[in-house]
Amino acid sequence: MGNCMSTNKKASRAPDDEQFEVAIIGGGICGLILAIGLLRRNVKITMYEQSRSFREIGAGVAFTANAIQCMRLIHPGIVDALKSVATSNGDPNDPNDYLQYTDGFNQKEGEESKILFKLYAGYRGFEGCHRAHLLDELVKLVPDNVVQFRKRLDRYTDHGDGGKLKLHFEDGSSAEADAVIGCDGIKSKVRQVLLGEENPASYPTYSHKCAFRALVPMDRAAAALGDEVAKNQRMHYGPSAHILHFPVAHQSLMNVVAFLDDPTERSYSSKLSEPGSKQEVVQAFANWGPTVRTITNLLDDEMDKWFIFDTNDHPAPTYASGRVCIAGDAAHASSPHHGAGAGVGVEDALALSRLLELVTDSVNNNTQISKQEALKAAFAAFDEVRRERTQWFVSSSRMICDVYELKHAETGTEMQKMYEEIKWRSHAIWYFDIDGMLHQVEDQYKGRLNGDKIPKSML
């Protein structure tokens, strides 16, 4: 690549040619955090969001200590935003930093809910919050003038002449940018255009699991379950189903998610959720232990029923093509069983923030590097470093659900084997080498600009 560069590019540039503009498609948590990171690094951006305003679907979301450290490196204000709405396990003044697992099925009448094993997640290593509350705080870090609403992407075009990429929206309008990053979620249009509409990897597939999500007022939950259970994260596992709950909204709500099998076939183009009923959940857990049955009886009569799609069956063969890339759920939508999908998206945002910072340095300080070449190198580096880890994460999330539900061939119903499987997979997520990733993306980027062949990153 370096041998083909003209030595007088810098001298022939117009004043604005050294700058570049990035279009971020999608204004969810991942897109907003990336936007905040790029703005901090003086990268010019425009964000295009299909809705009328910023909004997040779902209820609770949680971040471990490692994800929070990634946030801090992107922009300390992101951590401040999280802390303002986050809720720790247990006593806020003495948080419980463990994730806890119980046998929700075999508990006998009159027995207390016993913790069978637990995992240390780091100091304040499990910060839960309501998605919408976090989004409201993140929005405050993004200037209004960089966001355009009601812009649903139809396609983008690259004429291959090194000029601007053109974005075409469903309302008939268009825009231009030097690079495009798709943060447009599980049904990503950017992924469909990047990989091709005939490619199965362009679309998520149904995992045959559904989830009932609800928020229970904490006073009701604590009265029925006791403070110790209600105000701490608990995973209640059992045959072919499991229930997770943790506190949100400064301990005023208990976020509950009940996972059930769903043998029906569903298309990615159908709705991801529909109204669900308390009765369906109560019936599914009717033969479980008293704690789980008490939780199901706390639910409202009506709640959301979510159908869990992911990219496990057809993972993307690449996250980048030229000056276009995909990140977060757009690249590697996962089932929620590790409870870390948002955190892995934050890792993506940190990698891209660093790479585009390197692009700025390159085009400002090297007369032989064009912004087009630098952007292509950055996105290729992102794909190389991030794809293996994130696709492992998607696969592991499916597998860990089988462990929780006593269906995994190697662990079965043996508690010690379950513990070891959950532990090593969780630690691979929580104790990720952030500095190592940053060194990898920098080495990959610089190697591509120099025309070097870079060995496959070790994740």
216 and 262 share one domain: yes
At residue 5, the pLDDT reads 37
Domain that holds residue 228: 94-123+205-310
Q: Rounded distance, CA 11 to CA 377, Å?
A: 22
Q: Give me the CATH number covering residue 357.
A: 3.50.50.60
Q: Where are the alpha helices (DSSP H) in 21-116?
A: 29-40, 65-74, 76-85
25 and 151 share one domain: yes
At residue 353, the pLDDT reads 98
Map tokens 């994740």 to a residue. Answer: 459
Choose, from 131, 191, 213, 386, the residue flagged as catalytic.
213
180 and 59 share one domain: yes
299 and 398 share one domain: no
Each residue's pLDDT tens digit, 266-286: 998 888 889 999 999 999 999
288 and 370 share one domain: no
In which element (H, E) is residue 415 found? helix 415-430
Picking from 250, 275, 310, the residue at the C-terminal end of a domain is: 310
Map tokens 């087009």 to a residue. Answer: 372
Q: Give me the CATH number covering residue 229.
A: 3.30.9.30
Q: Rounded distance, CA 305 to CA 214, Å?
A: 9
Mean pLDDT by 10 residues, the chain (459 residues): 37 56 95 97 96 70 90 97 88 84 95 91 81 91 94 92 92 96 96 97 96 94 95 95 92 93 90 91 97 96 92 98 97 95 96 97 85 96 98 98 96 96 96 96 94 48
231 and 354 share one domain: no
Question: What residue ranges in 295-445 does DSSP mark as E strands?
Answer: 302-310, 320-321, 324-326
| Residue count of the chain | 459
54 and 153 share one domain: yes
Please answer whether residues 256 and 216 qualify as being in contact, where contact means their C-beta atoms are separated by less than 8 angstroms.
Answer: yes
323 and 407 share one domain: yes
Total of domains in the chain = 2
Burial category of 165 from C-beta neighbours within 10 Å (exposed 0-12, middle 13-18, buried 19 and up): buried
| Residue 72, number of CB atoms within 10 A of its CB | 16
Picking from 268, 287, 310, the residue at the C-terminal end of a domain is: 310
| Residue 398, number of CB atoms within 10 A of its CB | 18
150 and 210 share one domain: no
Each residue's pLDDT tens digit, 131-174: 888 999 999 999 999 999 999 999 999 987 778 999 999 999 99
The structure tokens listed for 288 are 């479980």
At residue 132, the pLDDT reads 86
At residue 42, the pLDDT reads 95
At residue 456, the pLDDT reads 44
Q: Rounded distance, CA 126 to CA 103, Å?
A: 21
332 and 375 share one domain: yes
Please answer whether residues 391 and 335 qualify as being in contact, where contact means their C-beta atoms are separated by less than 8 angstroms.
Answer: no
At residue 18, the pLDDT reads 65
379 and 246 share one domain: no
Picking from 285, 310, 335, the residue at the C-terminal end of a domain is: 310
Q: Rounded distance, CA 23 to CA 40, Å?
A: 16
Q: Is residue 52 among the annotated active site residues?
A: no
196 and 71 share one domain: yes
At residue 367, the pLDDT reads 67
